[in-house]
Chains A and B, each alone.
Chain A
Amino acid sequence: DTAVSQTPKYLVTQMGNDKSIKCEQNLGHDTMYWYKQDSKKFLKIMFSYNNKELIINETVPNRFSPKSPDKAHLNLHINSLELGDSAVYFCASSQPAGATDTQYFGPGTRLTVL
């Protein structure tokens, strides 16, 4: 069983389109995250949700809107895609109450905007 799964794995789309990436975790964790990894491999946090509530919102354009229908799912919707949005997006989850701070990452979604 995959602990943190993302769909799709690859996403190729035209500039200006709207797309969504889905994430699900079956670890029973309360907290989920979205990270962006650019072409230079820098990984930066975008959002964090704890039990469906937004707790971290970095300086991300408001074209990016996360949605957490329940604590096992955190989806990322991107409006009006731009070339600079091309990157690999990783979902992660953790259980802060366990105090180990370990985050479990999904396999990533490689987004290419043409």
Chain B
Amino acid sequence: SQQGEEDPQALSIQEGENATMNCSYKTSINNLQWYRQNSGRGLVHLILIRSNEREKHSGRLRVTLDTSKKSSSLLITASRAADTASYFCPLIQGAQKLVFGQGTRLTINP
């Protein structure tokens, strides 16, 4: 199964610090998405970056994509308690099927 692999599995930082998590994949892609899942909640789409883009910003989020290395990174700047969540970079397979990895569990400490 072709899925995005998030790294690290867990990340704990102090509030106000920046958080960086990575995603690696093995297939060619048209785009890559990041989703967030707060504890006990559904997933929320954060950002989509297309294969011809190298960097994209959305508020405090910055996503990079390196198709030659088949990797992406998600940077959250000035982290807040509400950023505590799991972050996923699922890949699209076939007919709109999202294939998820285990995610990065981010904890923001006060």
Separation of A8 and B7 alpha carbons in the complex (Å): 34
Which secondary structure dominates where chain A touches chain B? strand
Separation of A104 and B45 alpha carbons in the complex (Å): 7
Q: Is the beta-carbon distance between A105 and B48 smaller than 8 angstroms?
A: no
B11 interface residue (CB < 8 Å to A): no
CB-CB under 8 A from A41, the residues of chain B are: 86, 102-103
Separation of A33 and B31 alpha carbons in the complex (Å): 20
Q: Is the beta-carbon distance between B48 and A44 smaller than 8 angstroms?
A: no
State which of A12-20, A70-78, A79-87, A95-103 sits at the interface with chain B: A95-103
Contact with A along B3-31 (1 / 0, CB 8 A): 00000000000000000000000000011
Q: How many residues on the B side are at the interface (Cβ–Cβ under 8 A)?
A: 23
Shortest Cβ gap from A46 to chain B (Å): 10
Q: Is the beta-carbon distance between B42 and A105 smaller than 8 angstroms?
A: yes
Q: Is the beta-carbon distance between A56 and B48 smaller than 8 angstroms?
A: no
Known: A100-B48, A107-B42. A43 touches B96 (CB 8 A): no
Q: Is the beta-carbon distance between B92 and A101 smaller than 8 angstroms?
A: yes
B33 interface residue (CB < 8 Å to A): yes
Shortest Cβ gap from A22 to chain B (Å): 15
Separation of A101 and B96 alpha carbons in the complex (Å): 7
A48 interface residue (CB < 8 Å to B): yes
Separation of A90 and B56 alpha carbons in the complex (Å): 28
B43 interface residue (CB < 8 Å to A): yes
Q: Is the beta-carbon distance between A106 and B42 smaller than 8 angstroms?
A: yes
> Which residue numbers of A lie inside 8 Å of B, CB to CB?
4, 31, 33, 40-45, 48, 50, 55-56, 90, 92, 94, 96, 100-108
Top 9 closest pairs, chain A to chain B, by CB: A105-B42, A43-B100, A105-B43, A107-B42, A102-B45, A55-B95, A45-B97, A101-B92, A108-B42
